[in-house]
A and B are shown apart, each in its own frame.
Chain A
Amino acid sequence: MPDATTRFFEDLDRRGYEPLLVKSTGTIRFDLHEGPQTTHWLVAIDRGRISVSQDDREADTVVNTSPVLFEDLAAGREHGIAAILRGDMTVSGDARLVVQVERLFPGPPTSQGPQRLFQREAC
């Protein structure tokens, strides 16, 4: 079974279109560093149309973090904006893109969302 990181990017590529990014255009590259090894994920966005590759090409926004943290982000166990504020994930270039792409990460797996009263009573 592939990891959450790969699933996140492959799913994005498969969808090809994401309404939440319809106001965004640009390229964003995620560089996941582990020792001497770096994995790249390049996401090209054109008003909501998306294509993903693993090319190490120049991008409008470059995000640096560890594969472990990114795996947690892709699984909803960590939060992207908090990670940036903490310095665990750094951004160079156009920061707007990362704020938009961050919204595609899932919420925490333990989060239930709002529950109606009768639903709660039924539990």
Chain B
Amino acid sequence: MTEGNTIRILDGSTFVVSEDTGDIEATPSEPTGMFSLDTRFLSRWVLTVNGERLNALSYDDLQYYEARFFLVPGMATHYIDAKLSIIRERMVGGSFREQVTILNHDEKPVDLQVRMDAGSDFADLFQVKDEIVNKKGELYAEAEADRLRLGYRRGNFRRETVISCSRTAAYDRNGFSFSVHLEPNEQWSTDIDVQTFALGPGGRDLRMGVRAHGNERLALQQDLQEWIAAAPKVNSECEHLARTYQRSLVDLAALRFSPLSLGGSTLPAAGLPWFMTMFGRDSILTCLQVLPFAPGLSKTTLRILASLQGTRFDDFRDEDPGRILHEMRYGETAAFEEQPHSPYYGSVDATPLFVVLLDEYERWSGDESLVRELEQECRAALKWIDDYADLVGNGYVWYERRNTDTGLENQCWKDSWDSISYRDGTLLPFPRATCEVQGYAYDAKMRAARMAREFWGDPAYADRLEREAAQLKERFNRDWWVDDGQFYALALDPDGRRADVLSSNIGHLLWSGIVDHERAERIAEHLVGPRLFSGWGVRTLAEGEVRYNPIGYHNGTIWPFDNSFIAWGLRRYGFAEEAAVIANGILDAARYFDGRLPEAFGGYQRELTKFPVEYPTACSPQAWSTGAPMLLLRTMLGIEPHEGHLSVEPCLPIGMGRIEVLDIPGRWGKVDAFARGRLDLHDLAD
């Protein structure tokens, strides 16, 4: 995986980010290194031959978990003496392994000093992200006869990196060296094994017995093959679409994450490099996006989030009974409660979305037993919405952090500090209620009502939920409608004043079904209109708003994930053509990223830049961007579970040609869907 000039390989929460030579020289602002459990285990990893740095001729990222680098001594700026070549092959899978091979192409024998500098700062990922590495504990390095041990100790908290080689090496505190004699055309190689340890007293590892995939390349390879074989096949005349799907499928495999102490089941982590951990919101939304293609992720995600559902009031962690977690971390700052992520619960939308996912999953899979298994958790989630999230007491879902030190200010998906403003640009006071969350709450109640009636044997509860949902819908359509703009406000302040800006959030309202039918057309027009739609996708904030900025994180950029839910929403209200316009724009954009959609890209008009401008520090691959093409495909094909079978109602742009999706799993067994592009987008624009 390539990003800028760094090479990334990963497996679960272990990943290595290096330069294109394979070297790692981390600086506070350079997030390279080998990371595991939210801790950097290697911050220096530099290979030299006879004291000389190596120059990259090329590299291959073979699979997400392995890469290969071809190198020669000397720097690129002057003549390269290609009498020697060096190949580094590396993989992650539990531990990190690297094989170094040196080939002598000369007609003379050579004597070489091969050295790897190795070191670690054991920085917590939060410290790397915030560029502050200020360790309170003690770093140590011990060179033993057959290994180098790098470590960090703070009280009982201990993390160690242990490096050993298949050949005899001379280890010192800053690395290890080999003396190599090579005859003409001879080659030499060694395997280097880097193990990470998260140790408690008595040397017991935190991860004992919970390594998910095992450590071997073969196991990883087989796992990936099985993953791909189990997913539907997408054949398309439109080559880039098939490529985007394939890329998404593999990236989704790479992003699977197995939380500690939960028995090895996997859920989608949020994204590389900062978010290789479980997130309530990101994991749930990704599961919703990929349900027709990888339904198994939903089951494990629901179970894991249920098993960590809040049970008490904890102001530091913003935990309440019934609340679904926001983020879990395993590093030093979480351990010592310098950060609240053990886990942190400060998310306003994960709880209603948990209920939404369970219902949607059952509609596809027919897995009634999971709906019964998680009844208690659903009821607790719905109770949280009513009892603990209504901070103003007027029937809406609000948020305001209680941890004012390290908690999150904005607990909706647009979580940057300046994302929620009035039309004049002023930010709203707290508590805040954003519109899309009211939609999620409405949808959660409607869906829970179905589950209560069909599976929980509680029609009275179902009636109550439907009544409450209807009241919420009525209230919402009265209080949030911005008359002079003909759209729903982004948010409300505690006095009931509207944040009267035009934002992408209105698209989520369609998805949730909270929009009055007579208003849906207005909303659809806005979504594909010139203020929101750039030609590539829907901007987070409309052009013309005071805070609009085409590269403002939540104030003008385009998020593929956001667009995928908007398209789904348009489809729900019968705007199939508008949905296809958005799907087409985002899938077009994916071509410029080699099929891998970034977290966000610039909101510039399509005609202006001709290509989508990637947001500078965006995470990639990111789970919900990876899931976006799958949801867009679902939307364009109009595939929907309907009375026990899968209905297909395609609405496809002409340029997409013929698409077939084979073996869509579900309660119907496996079925195929076929579609042909018949929709002329040019006609639509006129």
CB-contacts of A86-113 with B (<8 A): 86-88, 90-92, 95-96, 98-100, 103-108, 110-113
A58 and B590 alpha carbons, distance in the complex (Å): 56
**For the complex, is B573 an interface residue (Cβ under 8 Å from A)?**
no
B200 touches A90 (CB 8 A): yes
Give the interface segment out of B71-79, B153-161, B231-239.
B153-161
Shortest beta-carbon distance, B214 to chain A, in Å? 18
A97 and B308 alpha carbons, distance in the complex (Å): 12
Interface size class of A (residues with CB under 8 A): 35 or more
Chain B residues, Cβ within 8 Å of A76: 312
A81 touches B343 (CB 8 A): yes
Chain A residues, Cβ within 8 Å of B657: none
Chain B residues, Cβ within 8 Å of A98: 261
**For the complex, is A1 an interface residue (Cβ under 8 Å from B)?**
no
**For the complex, is B210 an interface residue (Cβ under 8 Å from A)?**
yes
**For the complex, is A123 an interface residue (Cβ under 8 Å from B)?**
no
A112 touches B312 (CB 8 A): no
A88 and B261 alpha carbons, distance in the complex (Å): 17
A82 and B332 alpha carbons, distance in the complex (Å): 9
Give the interface segment out of A2-10, A18-26, A37-45, A49-57.
A18-26
Chain A residues, Cβ within 8 Å of B315: 108, 110-113
A92 and B203 alpha carbons, distance in the complex (Å): 12
Chain A residues, Cβ within 8 Å of B376: 19, 22
Shortest beta-carbon distance, B458 to chain A, in Å? 16
**For the complex, is A85 an interface residue (Cβ under 8 Å from B)?**
yes
Chain B residues, Cβ within 8 Å of A110: 315
Task: Please pick, from A79, A87, A106, A111, the residue contacting B200 in the complex, using a CB distance under 8 A.
Answer: A87
A113 and B311 alpha carbons, distance in the complex (Å): 12
B402 touches A108 (CB 8 A): no
**For the complex, is A14 an interface residue (Cβ under 8 Å from B)?**
no
A85 touches B313 (CB 8 A): no
Chain B residues, Cβ within 8 Å of A64: 201-202
B313 touches A113 (CB 8 A): yes
**For the complex, is B388 an interface residue (Cβ under 8 Å from A)?**
yes
**For the complex, is A114 an interface residue (Cβ under 8 Å from B)?**
yes
**For the complex, is B662 an interface residue (Cβ under 8 Å from A)?**
no
Chain B residues, Cβ within 8 Å of A95: 208-210, 260-262
Task: Please pick, from B261, B316, B402, the residue contacting A96 in the complex, using a CB distance under 8 A.
Answer: B261
**For the complex, is B206 an interface residue (Cβ under 8 Å from A)?**
yes
Q: A23-B373, A99-B261, A117-B392 are in contact. Are A86 and B312 (CB under 8 A)?
A: no
A90 and B316 alpha carbons, distance in the complex (Å): 23
A-B contact count (CB 8 A): 111
A92 and B202 alpha carbons, distance in the complex (Å): 11
A28-39 contact mask (Cβ, 8 Å, vs B): 1 or 0: 000000000000
**For the complex, is B140 an interface residue (Cβ under 8 Å from A)?**
no
**For the complex, is B184 an interface residue (Cβ under 8 Å from A)?**
no
A116 touches B155 (CB 8 A): no
Q: A85-B330, A117-B393 are in contact. Are A104 and B204 (CB under 8 A)?
A: no
Q: A82-B335, A87-B201, A104-B311 are in contact. Are A112 and B402 (CB under 8 A)?
A: yes
A106 touches B312 (CB 8 A): yes
**For the complex, is B578 an interface residue (Cβ under 8 Å from A)?**
no
A82 and B156 alpha carbons, distance in the complex (Å): 12
Q: A82-B342, A90-B201, A116-B393 are in contact. Are A108 and B156 (CB under 8 A)?
A: no
A116 touches B261 (CB 8 A): no
Task: Please pick, from A19, A22, A85, A90, the residue contacting B204 in the complex, using a CB distance under 8 A.
Answer: A90
A111 touches B314 (CB 8 A): yes
**For the complex, is B263 an interface residue (Cβ under 8 Å from A)?**
yes
Closest A residue to B384 by beta carbon equals A114
Task: Please pick, from B156, B210, B314, B431, the residue contacting A87 in the complex, using a CB distance under 8 A.
Answer: B156
Closest A residue to B495 by beta carbon equals A117
A96 and B210 alpha carbons, distance in the complex (Å): 10
Chain A residues, Cβ within 8 Å of B312: 76, 103, 105-107, 111
B391 touches A117 (CB 8 A): yes
Q: A96-B261, A114-B388, A117-B391 are in contact. Are A87 and B155 (CB under 8 A)?
A: yes
Chain A residues, Cβ within 8 Å of B250: none
Shortest beta-carbon distance, B206 to chain A, in Å? 7
CB-contacts of B201-228 with A (<8 A): 201-202, 204, 206, 208-210
Shortest beta-carbon distance, A57 to chain B, in Å? 21
A114 touches B391 (CB 8 A): yes
Q: A87-B201, A92-B208, A113-B313 are in contact. Are A99 and B307 (CB under 8 A)?
A: yes
Q: A86-B336, A116-B393 are in contact. Are A107 and B208 (CB under 8 A)?
A: no
Shortest beta-carbon distance, B318 to chain A, in Å? 9
Closest A residue to B308 by beta carbon equals A99
Q: A86-B156, A117-B431 are in contact. Are A23 and B307 (CB under 8 A)?
A: yes
Shortest beta-carbon distance, B316 to chain A, in Å? 7
Shortest beta-carbon distance, B164 to chain A, in Å? 24
Shortest beta-carbon distance, B278 to chain A, in Å? 13
**For the complex, is B337 an interface residue (Cβ under 8 Å from A)?**
yes
Q: A79-B337, A107-B319, A114-B391 are in contact. Are A96 and B156 (CB under 8 A)?
A: no
A-B CB contact pairs (8 Å), 20 listed: A22-B376, A81-B342, A82-B334, A85-B206, A87-B155, A87-B156, A87-B157, A87-B200, A90-B200, A90-B201, A96-B263, A104-B311, A107-B319, A108-B315, A111-B316, A112-B402, A113-B320, A116-B390, A116-B393, A117-B431
Given contacts A91-B261, A95-B209, A113-B315, 9 further A-B contacts (CB under 8 A): A19-B376, A76-B312, A79-B314, A108-B314, A110-B315, A111-B313, A111-B315, A111-B316, A116-B391
**Which 10 residue pairs are nearest across A and B when measured between Cβ atoms?**
A95-B261, A87-B156, A113-B313, A107-B312, A85-B335, A87-B200, A111-B315, A86-B335, A90-B200, A107-B314
Q: Chain B: residues with CB nearer than 8 A to chain A?
A: 155-158, 199-202, 204, 206, 208-210, 260-263, 307-308, 311-317, 319-320, 330-331, 334-337, 342-343, 373, 376, 388-393, 402, 431, 494
